[in-house]
Amino acid sequence: MRPDWDWSLKDLKRVPQNGRKVFTSFACGGGSTMGYKLAGFIVLGNVEIDPQMMRIYRQNHDPRFTFLMPIQQFKEIPNSELPAELFDLDILDGSPPCSVFSMSGDREEKWGGEFMFREGQAKQQLDNLFFDFLDVAEKLQPRAIVAENVSGMIKGNARGYVSLVLSRFREIGYRPQLFLLNSATMGVPQKRERLFFIAARKDLKLPKLQLEFNEPPVLYRDIREGTGSTINPQSLTFRRWLKRRPKDLNIGDITAREEGKVSNFNTILIRNQKVPNTLASSSVFLRTDQPQHISETDIIRIQTFPRDYDFLDAGVQYVCGMSVPPLMMKRIALEIYKQWFEEK
């Protein structure tokens, strides 16, 4: 029997559907989309600003309704011009871009400024995107809202921003809950700590959601496969690898971070007997026992993407690093269904 992290898009055809409907925004490669589908939900479609990511999303997920545009434009579409199904959603999902709340860099200096999240996209004020997302929620009135973001949102000065977000949830008629979750406790071979805002519409009088996950860790040696590209012996990366590779590969807690931070100059050494660190789109992941980068198969498995995912012309690590691990979202979606939507 294959482990949960080793799966195929073809497997979705065998997942019993529960009839509950989801629409997602800031969809990127569709990590959360695949998680909902693995949990039996129907994902109707998405909103996405990036043309390349939209092509990839359509290729892999065959959505009914797609909107290639900024979310600010989507929320201004007259209700009469939107599909009726979008006004009968069980879950509105979204992962508003969160780089301005990351704990790396001078994040406060970015607040209030307009940036292109990626080359080729429109400039946006990234710290406003969460409120744009909630404007869409107010428009569509789904039964529940799920929004994922970085843990940095509840650290330091950003906590005031979170208070404003929670107030907006309540203002539009929802009862929000905050969950700080680590994917390593959810069967994902990755220490990815993320904040989830999950809210139920007040008029439904649903109970408080309980989320506790304690699955055994999946180590790098469990998912490791293939040969990664060789580190250039003349490079700075190689010198870092020589300096930082452990002399004793058997020490330390398997869930501990390597140096107190997720990365050191964006270079991360992965040990066989530990859970891999957070996979970011710009990280450099190196094997400790060989002067190699990890393989693309490793990247796909660390992020729990399906083995037959079509990345088209995009980088595997970029798409994976920008997405929610499908298995992480599957675990959350199953609990939402069981506790809120399942017929008792």
Cα distance from N-terminal residue to C-terminal residue, the chain: 31
pLDDT at 254: 37
Domain layout of the chain by residue ranges: 9-215+324-341
pLDDT at residue 128, as a whole number: 83
d(CA 247, CA 11): 42
For the chain, give percent helix, strand, coil, nearest 5.
35, 20, 45
What number of CA atoms fall less than 13 Å from residue 328's CA on the CB side? 29
Q: How do beta strands 193-201 and 174-182 pair?
A: antiparallel
Q: Could you tell me the two tokens for 67?
A: 């909107």
The predicted pLDDT at position 110 comes to 44
Q: Quick check: 100 and 118 in contact, CB under 8 A?
A: no
| Nearest CA-CA partner of 43 in 52, 34, 51 | 34
- Residue 57 · residue 29 · CB < 8 Å: yes
21, 105, 116, 132, 173 from 123: Cα distances, Å: 31, 20, 4, 14, 30
In degrees and rounded to multiples of 5, residue 89 shows phi and psi of: -85, 145
Q: What is the pTM of this model?
A: 0.88
**Alpha-carbon gap, residue 116 to 79, rounded angstroms:** 28
Separation between Cα atoms, residue 51 and residue 3, nearest integer Å:
33
The pLDDT of residue 115 is 46
pLDDT by residue for the chain (344 residues), tens only, comes to 899 999 999 999 999 999 999 999 999 999 999 999 999 999 999 999 999 999 999 999 999 999 999 999 999 999 999 999 999 999 999 998 765 454 444 434 444 444 454 555 455 455 689 999 999 999 999 999 999 998 777 776 667 788 899 999 999 999 999 999 999 999 999 999 999 999 999 999 999 999 999 999 999 999 999 999 999 999 888 888 888 776 644 433 433 444 434 334 478 899 999 999 999 888 899 999 999 999 999 999 999 999 999 999 999 999 999 999 999 999 999 999 999 999 85
Query: What pLDDT shows up at residue 198?
Result: 98
183-196 in b/e burial notation, b at 16+ Cβ within 10 A?
bbbbbbbbbbbbbb
Distance from C-alpha of 276 to C-alpha of 305, rounded to nearest angstrom: 15
Please give the pLDDT value at position 171. Answer: 98
Determine the Cα angle at 49 with ends 116 and 298, to 5°.
85
Catalytic residues: 98
Nearest Cα to Cα of residue 134 among 111, 164, 100: 164
Please name the residues in contact with 94: beta carbons below 8 A apart, sequence gap of 6 or more: 24, 25, 26, 133, 136, 146, 147, 148
DSSP string of 66-88? EEES-HHHHTTS-GGGS-GGGGS
Which pair of structure tokens corresponds to residue 287? 């094997």
Q: Please tell me the predicted confidence (pLDDT) of residue 332.
A: 98
What CATH number matches the domain at 9-215+324-341, 3.40.50.150, 3.40.50.1110, 3.40.50.720, 3.40.50.2300? 3.40.50.150
Residue type, 180: L
